[in-house]
Amino acid sequence: MSASNTSEEASGPVQGGGDSVDWMRLRSPQRDQDRVLQSPTHVWLRRIPSAIHPKHLCRYYPRIANRLAMAWGDKTEVEEIFEDLLQDRRGQRKGFSERVRVEIERLQRFHQRKLHVNYPPLMVVRRRLPPGLDGNG
């Protein structure tokens, strides 16, 4: 969760009537900027192939698209976002429509492939030894 979470969110789930958790109270309040795609999100969309543009996600869940766009360069954070979106840890979650779910899964696969293609393998760094210590003389 982000640093902007309320103290109520940080303290854990709020128990409603019985043993159920009131997840709606835990969700960060929606702000005006969560209702529209932000400029960095438009830039992000221009950088990914148009074939995988998450059109329905952007239209119906701009807050999530903005969150993905802002985190896109951070492998760990993006993986956590995908896991949060695709795994139901709350129980009895309504879930996304089929179209949105497919778009999210497509983005996840693209992100995983992108990491393998664009990130260079670890390079072996060879230290140069001073003359006389390198065994050549």
| Confidence at 22, pLDDT banded by 50, 70, 90 | low
> Which are the contacts of 60, defined by CB distance < 8 A and separation ≥ 6?
97, 100
Residue 109's pLDDT is: 94
Are 21 and 15 in contact by the 8 Å Cβ rule? The answer is yes
Instruction: For residue 15, give the 3-state DSSP assignment.
Output: strand
Q: Which residue has the tokens 């438009």?
A: 42
Residue 137's pLDDT is: 55
- Nearest Cα to 3, choosing from 114, 82, 79, 77? 77
Are 39 and 89 in contact by the 8 Å Cβ rule? The answer is no
Q: Is the pLDDT of residue 28 over 80?
A: no
Q: Is the pLDDT of residue 74 over 60?
A: yes
> Which are the contacts of 5, defined by CB distance < 8 A and separation ≥ 6?
28
pLDDT tens readout for residues 84-137? 999 877 676 678 999 999 999 999 999 988 765 544 444 444 455 566 665 665
pTM of the model: 0.63
Residue 81's pLDDT is: 95
